[in-house]
Chains A and B, each alone.
Chain A
C-alpha cells in the first residue's frame, strides 16, 4: 500500500489571501507526521483540503490512494477539526453511535465502550454534550475521529483544551496507533509533544514548507561543547562526526580535556530559528 496522505503542489487562495503556496509532502503508512507553523501559516487549510472540506486552488491531495474529498477517501479517514461542536442534545455515547452509522462501522457497543475508555470518558458516556466541559468535548472529538478504525487520522490541534493528564493520554494513544500502523497527520503548537511522538515533522510558513525531516535530523548539527582546563569551549555548528578532529586540535594546542558533549537543540529552537529566519 502507498502513502496514507499525499499533497502535490497544493495551493489555496482565499480571495486575496494565499493560504497555501505549492505544498508537497507525503505521510507514509503507519507514520506519525507533525505539522508545525505559526498562526495563519496554513496548517488547518492544508488538513481541511485533506478532508474535502476546502477545495484546493491548485495541485491535488490524496488519502490512501483516493482523491481527497471523495467518499472512498473519507471512508478511510478520521478527522478532528480545530473548531468543532457536537449537538448538545446528544449524549457522548449517542455522538459515537451517530458517527458509527455515518462511517458504516459495525463496531457496536464494544467499539464505543473501548473508545470512551481510551480517552477516559467512560463515566460520562450518558451525559449530554451540552453539560460537558470544553476539554471533555475535545476528548469526545478524538474518540469520534477514531470511530470506524480509520487508516489515516487527521488531528488539528487535538490537545488545545486538554489538561496535562489528558495530553499524556493522547500521547499514549498516538504511540498505540503507531503500533497499529495507523497513519496520523497532526497539527500542533506543542512542540515538545510533537518532538516526543512524531516520526517526521514539517515546518510550514506562510503556506510553504520550509523544513522537513525527522525530529532528530532537524535538530542535527546542534553543536559540541568541550570542557577543558581553560573553561567550556562551544562549537555551535559542529556535528558529532567532527568531535575527534576537534579533540585532536585542542589537545595539540595543549588543552586538557575533561568532558565532551553534543548539545542537542530542542525542536523549539529549530522551529523558532526557522520562523524567525523567514519573517524576522
Chain B
C-alpha cells in the first residue's frame, strides 16, 4: 500500500508548504470576484417583467455559471500542474526523488502514488470551487442547473487529464520547461474549443473538424465543453440557443464515446509515462 502512502504525502505537502497558502487565498479572491460579478449583473440589468421570447434571467445566470465553471477549471489546472510538473525529472535534478525511488517500491508505484495524490487534491478542489459557483449563482439569481453532478465530474476528469499529461511531460522536461509546456497545452485545448464554437456559429465544417480532432487529442477540452453543455441541458428554445452562442455555452455536443475515450486515454498516457520513466537514468 505504498501507493496510498505516497498519495497521502502529497496531501501533507499541500497542507504544509508555504506556496500552498496562495491556493485558499486565490480561491477566495476568485469566488469573491465571481459573487461580485453575478451580483452586479443582476443588480444592474433591467429584466423585463413581461415574459418575452426567451428568459433573460436564465440566459444571464447560466452564462455566468459557465464563466464560473471556466474559472474553476483554470484554477484546478494550475493546481494540478503545480503538483505534477516536477515529479520525475525536476525532482530528480533536485535530488528529492532518489532517496525515495531507491526504496523497495518500484518506479511504477512511485508514479501512481504521486499522481493519485495530485489527482485527488485537484479534483476535490475543482469540484468544491464549482459547487461554490453554483451556490452563489443560485443565491443571487434563483437559478441552478438541473444537472450539477455530471458537469462537476467532467470538470474533475478534465483536470486529471491535464495532470496526466503534465506528469508524462515531467519525465522528459526540466521543471520550468514542463510547467510552460503544460500550460501551453491547456491553452491550445481552449483555443481548439473556441475554434469549434466559431465553426459552429459560422457553419464551417473545416473549423469544426479541426476542433473535433483536437478535442480527441486533448480530451480535457472535450470534457470541459461537455460540462458546459450539460450545465444548460435543461434549457430549451430560444434561451438555450442564445446561451449556446456565447463563449460559455458549450455549443458542441459530447460524443457518446467521450467517457470510454477518456479512460483509455488516461490509461495510455499512464502506461507511456511509466514505460519512459522506468527507462530513465536518475
Decide whether A and B assemble into one complex. Answer: yes
Residues on A lying within 8 angstroms of B by beta carbon are 14, 48, 51-55, 71-72, 74-75, 77, 79, 81, 83-89, 98-99, 101-104, 141, 144
- Chain A residue numbers with a CB within 8 Å of B217 are none
Interface 1/0 per residue, B1-36 and A, CB below 8 Å: 010010001001100110000000000000000000
**Of B16, B99, B103, B105, which one neighbours A81 at CB under 8 angstroms?**
B99
Q: Which residue of B lies closest to A72 (CB)?
A: B104
Q: If A102-B105, A104-B104 touch, does A144 touch B281 (CB 8 Å cutoff)? A: no
Q: If A79-B102, A99-B99 touch, does A85 touch B94 (CB 8 Å cutoff)? A: yes
Contact present for B281 and A53 (CB under 8 Å): yes
Interface 1/0 per residue, B35-72 and A, CB below 8 Å: 00000000000000000000000000000000000000
Tell me whether B282 is interfacial, beta carbon within 8 Å. Answer: yes
Contact present for B103 and A83 (CB under 8 Å): no
Contact present for A74 and B13 (CB under 8 Å): no
Tell me whether B238 is interfacial, beta carbon within 8 Å. Answer: no
Q: If A84-B95, A102-B2 touch, does A71 touch B104 (CB 8 Å cutoff)? A: yes
Contact present for A75 and B102 (CB under 8 Å): no
**Whole-angstrom distance between the alpha carbons of A29 and B200 in the complex?**
73
Contact present for A53 and B279 (CB under 8 Å): no
**Of A71, A72, A85, A102, which one neighbours B5 at CB under 8 angstroms?**
A102
Interface-central residue, B99, B279, B282, by most chain A CB under 10 Å: B99
Additional 4 contacts, C-beta under 8 A, given A77-B102, A81-B102, A84-B96: A53-B101, A55-B279, A85-B96, A101-B2
Contact present for A81 and B95 (CB under 8 Å): yes
**Whole-angstrom distance between the alpha carbons of A103 and B100 in the complex?**
9
- Chain B residue numbers with a CB within 8 Å of A83 are 95
| B residues 82-109 touching A (CB-CB < 8 Å) | 94-96, 98-106
Q: Which residue of A lies closest to B18 (CB)?
A: A89
- Chain B residue numbers with a CB within 8 Å of A14 are 281
* Nearest chain A CB to B133 CB, angstrom units: 31
Contact present for A54 and B105 (CB under 8 Å): no
* Nearest chain A CB to B261 CB, angstrom units: 34
Interface-central residue, B12, B99, B102, B282, by most chain A CB under 10 Å: B102
* Nearest chain B CB to A130 CB, angstrom units: 9
- Chain A residue numbers with a CB within 8 Å of B103 are 74, 99, 102-103
* Nearest chain B CB to A267 CB, angstrom units: 29
Interface 1/0 per residue, B257-282 and A, CB below 8 Å: 00000000000000000000001011
Contact present for A81 and B9 (CB under 8 Å): no
Interface 1/0 per residue, B99-130 and A, CB below 8 Å: 11111111000000000000000000000000
* Nearest chain A CB to B51 CB, angstrom units: 58
**Whole-angstrom distance between the alpha carbons of A141 and B96 in the complex?**
12
- Chain B residue numbers with a CB within 8 Å of A102 are 2, 5, 100, 103-105
Contact present for A87 and B105 (CB under 8 Å): no
* Nearest chain B CB to A137 CB, angstrom units: 10
Q: Which residue of B lies closest to A94 (CB)?
A: B12
Q: If A85-B94, A89-B17 touch, does A53 touch B102 (CB 8 Å cutoff)? A: yes
**Whole-angstrom distance between the alpha carbons of A85 and B106 in the complex?**
20
* Nearest chain A CB to B132 CB, angstrom units: 27
**Whole-angstrom distance between the alpha carbons of A48 and B13 in the complex?**
27
Contact present for A55 and B281 (CB under 8 Å): yes
Contact present for A54 and B281 (CB under 8 Å): yes
Contact present for B106 and A84 (CB under 8 Å): no
